[in-house]
Amino acid sequence: PDLNTGFTYEDCKATADWLLAQTDVRPLVGIVCGSGLGGLADMLKDQVAFNYKDIPNFPQSTVHGHAGRLVFGTLKGRDCVCMQGRFHLYEGYPIQKITLPMRIFKLLGVETVMLTNAAGGLNQDFKVGDIMIIKDHLNIPGFAGNHPLVGPNDERFGVRFPCMSDAYDRELQQLAMDVGHELGFTDFLREGVYCMLGGPSFETIAECRMLSKLGADAVGMSTAHEVVVARHCGMRVFALSLITNLAVMDYDSEEKANHEEVSGG
Ligand code: 6GU
């Protein structure tokens, strides 16, 4: 059978070359801005920005609170590229399509990917506003076969069975911890395990309790799929969760998760 998903190495290369032809920026760092965290992209200097809808092969953002621009520029003098808005499983695209930007990053020359997300806190010690350095993840859609590396493997990206025990770069975690302490963030800087679910519904109370027992500190609807693809093609990964709300863990609670608190909208 023809198992070609339409997102081949050649497709990614064509997109990367199309972008590189229109900017002198040669990014070694690629950033993915989570819900409500797209303001970082606006801080880039000497910007060259592309709307997702104008980029060949790119999916388009359908979620309110996600802008949908790929921004090239410099941060503190370093060339970087920033996704202002990302793609989620619940938008309905195939998972190979929503992770395509990671492979385009790779072909742009990116060596390190930094990802942020808005997440619900499961860890009882967490508070709203905490920043969690992600040390590991639970890729729940992946367990069920909704995994971005399903299908024919192109060795030009990476191996058939990539290792994930070193997915989150330990040096970068330590560096972030050190810098966070220096900046006076100690009281709200955490580390923990991020759990990705497909969404779009938020979790039931029983689901939150289950995820907590499984070792998750925070839960959201992104990041793990991108990390898997980024690691497959050999990029270093650093990721942060902003704890925008606390997951509801008991039946007496009046709290309800909603998109406005999550996206800062
Ligand atoms: Cl509580 N759950 C999920 N799945 N995603 C979130 C969230 C909760 N809070 C922010 N994003």
pLDDT value, residue 265: 47
pLDDT value, residue 1: 54
Is the separation of the CB atoms in 236 and 113 below 8 Å?
A: yes
Helix (H, G, I), strand (E, B) or coil at 74: strand
Nearest C-alpha to atom 11 of ligand 1 is from which residue?
Answer: 119
Question: What residues contact residue 8 under an 8 Å CB cut-off, 6+ apart?
Answer: 154
Question: Cα(127)–Cα(122) distance, rounded to whole angstroms?
Answer: 10
Q: Is 199 in the pocket of ligand 1 (CB under 6 A)?
A: yes
Of 122-126, 234-238, 245-249, 258-262, the one with minimum mean pLDDT is 258-262
ipTM of this complex: 0.95
Per-residue burial over 1-10, b = 16 or more CB atoms within 10 Å of its CB, e = otherwise: eeeeeebeee
Residue 233, pLDDT > 90, answer yes
Question: Cα(15)–Cα(18) distance, rounded to whole angstroms?
Answer: 5
Residue 33, pLDDT > 90, answer yes
Residue 245's CB is within 10 A of a number of other CB atoms, namely 17
Question: For residue 150, how far is its CA from the centre of ligand 1 (angstroms)?
Answer: 26
Q: Is 120 in the pocket of ligand 1 (CB under 6 A)?
A: yes
Question: For residue 214, how far is its CA from the centre of ligand 1 (angstroms)?
Answer: 17
pTM given for the model: 0.94
Active site (annotated) includes residue 168: no
Is the separation of the CB atoms in 213 and 127 below 8 Å?
A: no
Active site (annotated) includes residue 88: yes
Which parts of 143-260 are beta strand (E)? 189-196, 218-220, 236-246
Give the position, in ligand 1's atom list, of the atom nearest the Cα of 245.
Answer: 9
Question: For residue 104, how far is its CA from the centre of ligand 1 (angstroms)?
Answer: 27
